[in-house]
Structure 1
Amino acid sequence: MRKGMAIMVGLVVWLAATLAWAVPTRIVVGVRARDAKFIGTSMGGVLVTIQDTETGEVLARGIARGSTGDTRLLMKTPKGRYTQLLVGNTARFEAVLDLEEPRRVRIVARGPLGQIQAMQEVSVTTWVVPGKDINELVLEMPGLVVRALSPVPHSMIKGPARVEVRASVTPMCGCPVDPRFFWPPKNYEVAVMVRRNGRFLKTVPLTFTGKTSLFATTLDLPEKGAYELIIYAYDKLTGNTGVDRTTVVIR
């Protein structure tokens, strides 16, 4: 009985000593779309995981939420050396780690969570020292969000058929592709690759419809078969690329 009590007392003392040494350390992470703004709540947010690189222990995990950020600051204002980008309610994930010693961590961001077909993953490793906050760590996520709108998957159509192909295209933050904004349609090559019964047939360009972020074309599908439509968007200035797929069956 006394031995058990002694062990319990020892554990309590050890735990108290451990907690006494642990120092709260703040890390703030934002995920910015390449050539655009931050990925936030409007796109479902971004899952951020902070993990010890040596042990694999997950130290923190959560979703970066908030707005896409200050448009003037991000897209117009020349950046100084120490310009802070996570201002106001700009999307971020904040974690407070209780650290007893320096730890090398891997910070992984995966999103946007609201557009599964467009999800990408970026990561960085860094040392974190107890009590030494990292108040702004910005990860850049490349890519474009392409969403096939028409035809709906597995459409059954009597042939021969003319099929309208429509797709929305945006940066990863969901910002508008439109001549009036910072992401003009002319910067994007949008096209559909057509396969019939698994064999490649042709690539047909989609053109901007005049409606924000919307591109379209019409396909002539004269023969029966199962067609796979692979829609892609590509920005040669940044390398940003996105893809989505849909299918149609001509009977």
Structure 2
Amino acid sequence: MKALILITAFLFSNLMISATETKIMIRAKARDAKFIGTSLGGAHIIIRNKLNQRILAEGNTTGSTGNTDLIMKTPKIRGNSIADEQTGGFVAAVDIDEPTFVNIEVISPLNSKQAQAVVSTELWLIPGKHIVGEGIILEIPGYIIDILKPRTHQYIALSSIKDKPFQFQANIVMMCGCVIDKGGVWNSDEIEVKGILKKDGKFVKNIDMSLVSTNLFEGHHMIISPGNYELVLYAYHEKTGNTGVDKVNYVVFE
């Protein structure tokens, strides 16, 4: 019996010794923009063994959004990294004892549910062969849009808005939190922002939204009758294919 215990312990110790820590850097980068880091709450990373779906590592990206000039203005040359030591990422330490095919899933932006996208890739991890430095970069398309006015399910008296334009307002940023401004790196003049207004389920009008200050877009419409209203607000950039949507419902009563 004692011999059996010793043999089992020996085999178990050999198994433990054979597992090798393998590091992999995962980064989430907004399409046509920068990296997703601490300032936006991070992107959530999950690494799974593709064979049995067991989670090998998970966590959130932390760090800065990166160097704007390096990422957005410097021509990309093979071998040159667009990430520095401060750039947001998540370093996973995975213990494996043989080459393992993994699925890497990125959920981002973690704290903006209406804009959240899931992007994934698959690759082989080799024991002890680290993938660090710039690491694996997954691209997150889109915009984060938050409708500020009207508020969700806000009740508005028709008498309070009669004979004056009703204001719509939304905050729009890149998926990394980078700012949108007139003439800026992310130029508001290149982004189409509109609201689709419905009343009692029927189309009323397309609302043109214009930038009034950094990230802030406004539009107006004369509301002349009570009802259940819905505003679907979108942003669209033709050059990159970036899109984003937010929706709000509100009630106008007599």
Distance in 1 between the 2:188 and 2:41 partners? 24
1:67 aligns with 64
On the 8 A contact 2:183/2:189 being kept in 1, the answer is no
2:226 pairs with 1:221: no
Q: CA deviation at 1:202?
A: 2.1
Letter in 1 for 2:46: T
Distance in 2 between the 1:9 and 1:62 partners? 38
1:138-179 per-position Cα deviation (integer Å, ceiling 9, x unaligned): 111111111111111111112263421101111101111113
2:106 pairs with 1:103: no
1:49-103 per-position Cα deviation (integer Å, ceiling 9, x unaligned): 0011111011000001111001111011111111122212110000111111001
2:152 pairs with 1:153: yes
On the 8 A contact 1:151/1:163 being kept in 2, the answer is no
The change in CA–CA distance for 1:193 and 1:8 in structure 2 (over 3 A counts) is farther
Letter in 2 for 1:146: I
Aligned positions of 1:17-166 closer than 5 A: 17-135=14-132, 136-159=135-158, 161=161, 162-166=165-169
With normalisation by structure 1, the TM-score equals: 0.94
2:234 pairs with one of 232, 235, 240:
232
1:182 aligns with 185
Distance in 2 between the 1:11 and 1:197 partners? 71
Distance in 1 between the 2:67 and 2:244 partners? 25
Identical positions, percent: 36
Distance in 1 between the 2:17 and 2:45 partners? 28
1:171 pairs with one of 157, 170, 174:
174
2:202 pairs with 1:202: no
On the 8 A contact 1:30/1:86 being kept in 2, the answer is no
Give RMSD over aligned pairs.
1.4
Distance in 1 between the 2:44 and 2:6 partners? 40
**Residue aligned with 1:17, SS:** helix
1:106-146 per-position Cα deviation (integer Å, ceiling 9, x unaligned): 10000111212111111100111111111111111111111
Structure 2 gaps of 5+ residues are none
On the 8 A contact 2:147/2:247 being kept in 1, the answer is yes
With normalisation by structure 2, the TM-score equals: 0.93
The change in CA–CA distance for 1:16 and 1:196 in structure 2 (over 3 A counts) is same
**Residue aligned with 2:11, SS:** helix
**Residue aligned with 2:88, SS:** coil
Distance in 2 between the 1:53 and 1:22 partners? 18
Q: CA deviation at 1:11?
A: 3.5
On the 8 A contact 2:22/2:93 being kept in 1, the answer is yes
Distance in 2 between the 1:7 and 1:246 partners? 68
**Residue aligned with 2:87, SS:** coil
